[in-house]
Amino acid sequence: MIPLTLSSPSLTRLVLFTSRYSHSPFLRNFSSLPLINRKLLYKPPFGVRCHASSSNSSSFTAKSSKEIRKAQTKVVVDEKLTSIRRLFSDPGVGIDAYVIPSQDAHQSEFIAECYARRAYLSGFTGSAGTAIVTKDKAALWTDGRYFLQAEKQLNSSWSLMRAGNPGVPTASEWVADVLAPGGRVGIDPFLFSADAAEELKEVIAKKNHQLVYLYNVNLVDEIWKDSRPKPPSKQIRIHDLKYAGVDVASKLLTLRNQIMDAGASAIVISMLDEIAWVLNLRGSDVPHSPVMYAYLIVEVDQAHLFIDSSKVTAEVKDHLKNAGIELRPYDSILQEIDSLAARGAQLLMDPSSLNVAIISTYKSACERYSRNSESEERAKPKFTDSSSGYIANPSGIYMQSPISWAKAIKNDAELQGMKNSHLRDAAALAHFWAWLEEEVHKNANLTEVDVADRLLEFRSLQDGFMDTSFDTISGSGANGAIIHYKPEPESCSRVDPKKLFLLDSGAQYVDGTTDITRTVHFSEPSTREKECFTRVLQGHIALDQAVFPEGTPGFVLDGFARSSLWKIGLDYRHGTGHGVGAALNVHEGPQSISFRYGNMNPLQNGMIVSNEPGYYEDHAFGIRIENLLHVRDAETPNRFGGVTYLGFEKLTFFPIQAKMVDVSLLSDTEIDWLNSYHAEVWEKVSPLLEGSSTQQWLWNNTRPLAKP
Candidate ranges 18-26, 71-79, 162-170, 375-383; the one touching its own copies (CB under 8 A): 18-26
CB nearer its own copies, residue 300 or residue 593: 593
Separation between Cα atoms, residue 688 and residue 682, nearest integer Å:
10
Distance of CA 261 to the CA centre of its chain: 30
Separation between Cα atoms, residue 88 and residue 84, nearest integer Å:
7
Q: Which string of x and - marks every residue 207-236 that binds its own copies (by CB under 8 A)?
A: ------------------------------
Q: Which helix (H) or strand (E) holds 252?
A: helix 248-261
CB nearer its own copies, residue 33 or residue 570: 570
Does 181 interact with its own copies (rule: CB under 8 A)?
Answer: no
Candidate ranges 21-29, 68-76, 425-433, 652-660; the one touching its own copies (CB under 8 A): 21-29
Does 571 interact with its own copies (rule: CB under 8 A)?
Answer: yes
> Considering only residues 28, 74, 225, 230, which one is a binding residue for its own copies as defined by CB under 8 A?
28
Separation between Cα atoms, residue 592 and residue 590, nearest integer Å:
7
> C-alpha angle with apex 123: 122 to 129, nearest 5 degrees?
60
Q: Which string of x and - marks every residue 363-402 that binds its own copies (by CB under 8 A)?
A: ------------------------------------xx-x
Best CA proximity match to 63, nearest among 163, 166, 150, 161: 150
CB nearer its own copies, residue 409 or residue 705: 409
| C-beta separation of 241 from 322 below 8 A | no
* Secondary-structure percent of the chain, ordered helix, strand, coil, rounded to 5: 40, 20, 45
CB nearer its own copies, residue 308 or residue 558: 558
Separation between Cα atoms, residue 219 and residue 202, nearest integer Å:
23
Candidate ranges 105-113, 418-426, 481-489, 559-567; the one touching its own copies (CB under 8 A): 559-567
Candidate ranges 274-282, 454-462, 500-508, 548-556; the one touching its own copies (CB under 8 A): 548-556
Q: β-strand 184-187 against 97-100: which pairing, if any?
A: parallel
Candidate ranges 434-442, 496-504, 597-605, 692-700; the one touching its own copies (CB under 8 A): 597-605
Separation between Cα atoms, residue 631 and residue 604, nearest integer Å:
6
CB nearer its own copies, residue 33 or residue 327: 33
Candidate ranges 306-314, 558-566, 605-613, 689-697; the one touching its own copies (CB under 8 A): 558-566
CB nearer its own copies, residue 546 or residue 580: 546
Q: What is the DSSP string of 513-538?
A: B--EEEEEESS---HHHHHHHHHHHH
> Considering only residues 42, 60, 213, 597, which one is a binding residue for its own copies as defined by CB under 8 A?
597
Q: Which string of x and - marks every residue 401-420 that binds its own copies (by CB under 8 A)?
A: -x--x---------------
CB nearer its own copies, residue 431 or residue 596: 596
In three-state form (DSSP H/G/I as H, E/B as E, the rest C), the secondary structure along 277-308 is HHHCEECCCCCCCCCCCCEEEEECCCEEEECC
Q: Which string of x and - marks every residue 475-504 that binds its own copies (by CB under 8 A)?
A: ------------------------------
Best CA proximity match to 142, nearest among 158, 157, 87, 156: 158
CB of 278 to its own copies, least distance (A): 18
Phi, then psi, of 703 in degrees rounded to 5: -75, 140
Q: β-strand 281-282 against 295-299: which pairing, if any?
A: unpaired
DSSP-derived 3-state class of residue 398: strand
For the beta sheet containing 266-269, the strands, ordered from the edge strand earlier in sequence to the opposite edge, are 325-328, 303-306, 295-299, 266-269, 347-349, 397-398
Beta bridge partners of 238: 281
Candidate ranges 51-59, 107-115, 181-189, 547-555; the one touching its own copies (CB under 8 A): 547-555
DSSP-derived 3-state class of residue 236: coil
- Site residue total, its own copies (CB under 8 A): 60
CB of 67 to its own copies, least distance (A): 26
Does 548 interact with its own copies (rule: CB under 8 A)?
Answer: yes
Q: Is the dihedral of CA 474, 477, 480, 482 positive or negative?
A: negative
Q: Which string of x and - marks every residue 655-684 that binds its own copies (by CB under 8 A)?
A: ------------xxx---------------
> Considering only residues 208, 313, 460, 636, which one is a binding residue for its own copies as defined by CB under 8 A?
636
Catalog residues that contact its own copies under the rule CB under 8 A.
Answer: 10, 19-23, 25-30, 399-400, 402, 405, 545-553, 555-560, 563, 565-571, 573, 590, 595, 597-598, 600-602, 604, 634, 636-641, 643, 645, 667-669
